[in-house]
Amino acid sequence: MAGTKTERLIEALRDRIAARALGPGDRMPSIRRFAEQMKVSPSTVVEAYDRLAAEGVIRARRGAGFYVAESPPALRTLGTATTPKARAVDPFWVSRQSMDARAGSLQPGCGWLPEDWMPHEALRRGLRQLAKAETTVLTNYATARGSPALRRCLLGRFAAENLQATPDQLMLTASASQAMDLICRLLLRPGDTVLVDDPGYFNFRALLRAHQVEVLGVPYTRDGPDLVAFEAALAHAPRLYLTNSALHNPTGATLAPTVAHRVLGLAAAHDLTIVEDDTFVDLDPDPTPRLAVLDGLERVLRIGGFSKTLSASMRCGYIAGRADWIEALVDLQVATSFGGPSPVTTELLSSVLAGGGYRRYIADLHRRLNGARKTAVSRLAGLGITPWVLPRGGFYLWCRFPDGIDTGDFAQGAMQKNLMLAPGNVFSPSHSASRFMRFNVTQMQDPQIYEVMREVLG
Amino acid sequence: MAGTKTERLIEALRDRIAARALGPGDRMPSIRRFAEQMKVSPSTVVEAYDRLAAEGVIRARRGAGFYVAESPPALRTLGTATTPKARAVDPFWVSRQSMDARAGSLQPGCGWLPEDWMPHEALRRGLRQLAKAETTVLTNYATARGSPALRRCLLGRFAAENLQATPDQLMLTASASQAMDLICRLLLRPGDTVLVDDPGYFNFRALLRAHQVEVLGVPYTRDGPDLVAFEAALAHAPRLYLTNSALHNPTGATLAPTVAHRVLGLAAAHDLTIVEDDTFVDLDPDPTPRLAVLDGLERVLRIGGFSKTLSASMRCGYIAGRADWIEALVDLQVATSFGGPSPVTTELLSSVLAGGGYRRYIADLHRRLNGARKTAVSRLAGLGITPWVLPRGGFYLWCRFPDGIDTGDFAQGAMQKNLMLAPGNVFSPSHSASRFMRFNVTQMQDPQIYEVMREVLG
């Protein structure tokens, strides 16, 4: 965040210290003399010294100037602390590699929009407003349930779907993932059985592994979970079913109303609780009733977040559900994280959400998504790769590869060429998706992606 | 964050809709006509309508203006969703009540600085700079270990204490509490035994309860844990010992070097892992070697955060420890929260920490703390309340009450008079601190506090 002049000065000083031109315990040049020597202003030198002192490379002695530290920290650059490893194709394959991807790597496997697709101008406006906010917003803990403004906004959005929730049925969390984690902590015990979709969101499995529970996959059809398999799985007395029902991840399929009604009926008959992750809701151009809405939040807990259409940097999610569960989840969040999202984050998110600009941005985003989806489908067709279903919205395409290709091997090969993919078995508890791959159509503008894939296909 | 004119307009519209002057399905007044009627600009009306639409109170129909929603959400205000309850004096007593305290309540029991003691001007400057940051900072997930700049800064601070840690021994977390939680998830199983200080930080107990482990308290003396009791407790084969060793919470006592060395020796002999919470480090005017430094991060994990001297709103903490544990903890954080702190937060924190202003602020803070501590000690003496030890830094005072007073009853009585206190047994696993109370000297400037306490003492 500092000017390049200061950065260059800091680098020059780091080099001298690393090369022992300035050794441990040596006095640093005086500010005035060094400023003259380097042809910069004294304030630039002060800033550089202050930052090196904050890093422990040099030390200030009261009234006696700056000295090179006796035991300076390692001076080598921390990019990602480790370079991406040759990981197994496991549930962490996509998350760790896309988070730690080096700049310039191609990422059709990642789960978010390119940064220039996000409403960054609105976020910048929000930050400038925040600089004038009441001090408490900048310095204090949030209330235990989180920002009233953002909760009011969410309750309003629920009401627009005909989901009437009361304020005590809603809490904010540090992320949608953390929302899911809190629910698992409240409702699961090691050894319990949990149903997920097969294929389904990979991080549900990583999370459930952390909870030491048995994971049972239910095949996902173009209309939702396979009802015969779902009913059969109930014989194992599962405690939870985790799903995202519209714009399902990874397939982009939509839960049909009839299937939704049947799933809820089966859940009621077997006292099964459902967690419905609605993170992709704003990417859905034509939302149909969700499980949470049909059920009225009795046995369905709705979770969601803002990372797909607002900002993944601002960590924030939510849980809506039975009031007694929410009260217990608030205590659990205090015990384990001392609260949820930052008030800075929630102020920023509510200011962007409440502005009229957000509606226009979303309408425009749907148009761009349709265009990008068409382009990706046609280019992939040229490689013999075809979508399993054509999603009505969102950025995912779940695609079938030509016969004889194992997408896990393919992804390992592509990674050597700096192309980060999301092979099917990452999403499949039964490892039955080795012919499939999830693509993100918004991350596929660069023609090089198709060239590299053609090479790897051989 | 909106101007008061818009806010007033929104309130007026909410009132009309609540009173059914505008009923479900009614068309809202046209923007131009309503602007004239209310003597505001059309853009103010547009903003008010947009925000009511975002809350679901009214709906936009394409090209046909705005209509009152058929099923608007509850219009009552969400302050704290529930008013503070008559809670038992349990580990949640302090946290839930100070988080949800109503504006204007007096909080000598809370665990943070008043907002005007915090470096809010530096935070405001940081926000203005952030508005110009690279887009990726505003929209994207962090790398799995979190901001390289903030990690470099932390490694530098560690080196200044003669603690040499390598980059792969450090990760950022969403808070110091979450740091502790991740460690418990990695190293504990239900039924394990864990040692804590008695008295000790209340939220450790709330957290350990969530992990379903046995908690064993070790009496804390003015020099650290009682070594005889500590050694005796090792017979229960505890897996972890959680502590904060300098500026101990709640007592403000300091671990003596000899005791530190003995504790580490006993831990090594019994293969005990120690988690040292160093959240209060910057409040310590004269830091002495910590357990983590003596041990060199072999069996001690250091955790910390920035909420006490920088901002509790910006959620961020860290863990330093063995590289193989850190690698596993990074995976665990991805699985349970999809990453740690917001890049917006870490940019802001590193910009403030790296500036020379932070050093001056801390020096000044130490002077203010000394003054506030002296004043509080002398005023409390007038009520017969005396400190157990005089801390060398920080804002806590652990005080003994006059004979015959149970501080739990006292705190319940004070709460009726809007005075939020932190009674001793909240901190004591053995409930042996009913004569004690933790005070925060920075929250005791208002003479009313002492008047109310005098009344409750009766």
CATH number at residue B47: 1.10.10.10
Percentage of chain A lying above the pLDDT 70 cut: 94
pLDDT digits (tens, 9 = 90+) for B254-306: 999 999 999 999 999 999 999 999 999 999 998 888 999 999 999 999 999 99
Contact A131 B132 (CB under 8 A): no
pLDDT digits (tens, 9 = 90+) for A57-106: 888 876 678 888 876 665 444 543 334 445 677 778 788 878 887 667 89
In a domain? residue B278: yes
In a domain? residue A405: yes
Residue with tokens 């003669």: B162
Secondary structure (3-state) at A61: strand
List, as ranges, residues 234-263 from B with C-beta within 8 Å of A: none
Report which residue type is found at A428.
Answer: S
Q: Give the pLDDT confidence score for residue A177 in this predicted structure.
A: 95
Kindly tell me if the per-residue pLDDT of B234 is higher than 90. Answer: yes
Mean of the pLDDT values across residues A419-423? 95
pLDDT class for B1, splitting at 50, 70, 90?
A: very low
Q: Which residues pair with B221 in a beta bridge?
A: B224
Q: Give the pLDDT confidence score for residue A76 in this predicted structure.
A: 44
Question: Does A346 share its domain with A362?
Answer: no
pLDDT digits (tens, 9 = 90+) for A95-145: 887 888 766 789 999 999 999 999 999 999 999 999 999 999 999 999 999
Domain end residue (candidates: B322, B356, B390): B356
Q: Give the pLDDT confidence score for residue B218 in this predicted structure.
A: 98
Q: Is A360 exposed, middle or buried (0-12, 13-18, 19+ CB in 10 A)?
A: exposed
Secondary structure (3-state) at A265: helix
Question: Does A219 share its domain with A148?
Answer: yes
Residues of A in contact with B177 (CB under 8 A): 335-338
Question: Does A33 share its domain with A100?
Answer: no
In a domain? residue B38: yes
Q: Give the pLDDT confidence score for residue A5 in this predicted structure.
A: 81
Kindly tell me if the per-residue pLDDT of B81 is higher than 80. Answer: no
CATH number, domain of A432, equals: 3.90.1150.10
Domain end residue (candidates: A356, A375, A404): A356
As a whole number, the mean pLDDT across chain B is 90
In a domain? residue B73: no
Question: Does B240 share its domain with B215?
Answer: yes
Q: Give the pLDDT confidence score for residue B47 in this predicted structure.
A: 84
Report which residue type is found at B195.
Answer: L
Kindly tell me if the per-residue pLDDT of B424 is higher than 70. Answer: yes
In a domain? residue B81: no
Residue closest to B421 by CA, chosen among B390, B391, B383, B392: B383
Q: Give the pLDDT confidence score for residue B73 in this predicted structure.
A: 64
Q: Give the pLDDT confidence score for residue A80 in this predicted structure.
A: 39
Q: Residue A45's closest chain B neighbor by CA?
A: B356
| pLDDT winner (highest mean) among A2-11, A370-379, A410-419 | A370-379
Q: Give the number of domains in chain B.
A: 3
Kindly tell me if the per-residue pLDDT of B166 is higher than 70. Answer: yes
Mean of the pLDDT values across residues B177-181? 96
In a domain? residue B86: no
pLDDT digits (tens, 9 = 90+) for A359-387: 899 999 999 999 999 999 999 999 999 99
Kindly tell me if the per-residue pLDDT of A192 is higher than 60. Answer: yes
Question: Does A409 share its domain with A314?
Answer: no
Q: Give the pLDDT confidence score for residue A73 in this predicted structure.
A: 64
Kindly tell me if the per-residue pLDDT of B63 is higher than 80. Answer: no
Helix axes A176-187, A202-210, angle to 10 degrees: 40
CATH number, domain of A281, equals: 3.40.640.10
Query: How would DSSP label each residue in B334-350?
Result: HHHHSSSS-HHHHHHHH
The nearest CA of chain A is from the CA of B145 a distance in Å of 8
Cα–Cα distances (Å) from B420 to A14, A43, B250, B380, B439, in that order, read 50, 46, 16, 16, 10
pLDDT class for A299, splitting at 50, 70, 90?
A: very high
Cβ-count burial B182-221 (b if 16+ within 10 Å, e if not) = bbbbbbbeeebbbbbbbbbbbbbbbbbbbbebebbbbebb
What CA–CA distance (Å, rounded) separates A176 from A199?
20
Domain end residue (candidates: A356, A387, A405): A356
Question: Does B124 share its domain with B259?
Answer: yes
ipTM value of the model?
0.83
> Is the minimum CB–CB distance between A203 and chain B shorter than 8 Å?
yes
SS3 content of chain A, % helix, strand, coil (to 5): 45, 15, 40
Question: Does A297 share its domain with A403?
Answer: no
How many helices and strands (H and E) does chain B possess? Answer: 17, 14
pLDDT digits (tens, 9 = 90+) for A240-281: 999 998 899 999 999 999 999 999 999 999 999 999 999 999
Question: Does A97 share its domain with A47?
Answer: no
List, as ranges, residues 12-71 from B with C-beta within 8 Å of A: 46-47, 50-51, 53-57, 59-60, 69, 71
Q: Give the pLDDT confidence score for residue B102 in this predicted structure.
A: 67
Secondary structure (3-state) at A3: coil
Q: Give the pLDDT confidence score for residue B80 in this predicted structure.
A: 39
Percentage of chain B lying above the pLDDT 90 cut: 73
Percentage of chain B lying above the pLDDT 70 cut: 94
User: CA B120: distance to chain centroid?
Assistant: 17
Q: Which domain holds residue A269?
A: 120-356
Q: Give the pLDDT confidence score for residue B72 in this predicted structure.
A: 62
Top residue of B31, B55, B134 to mutate, by most chain A CBs within 10 Å, is B55
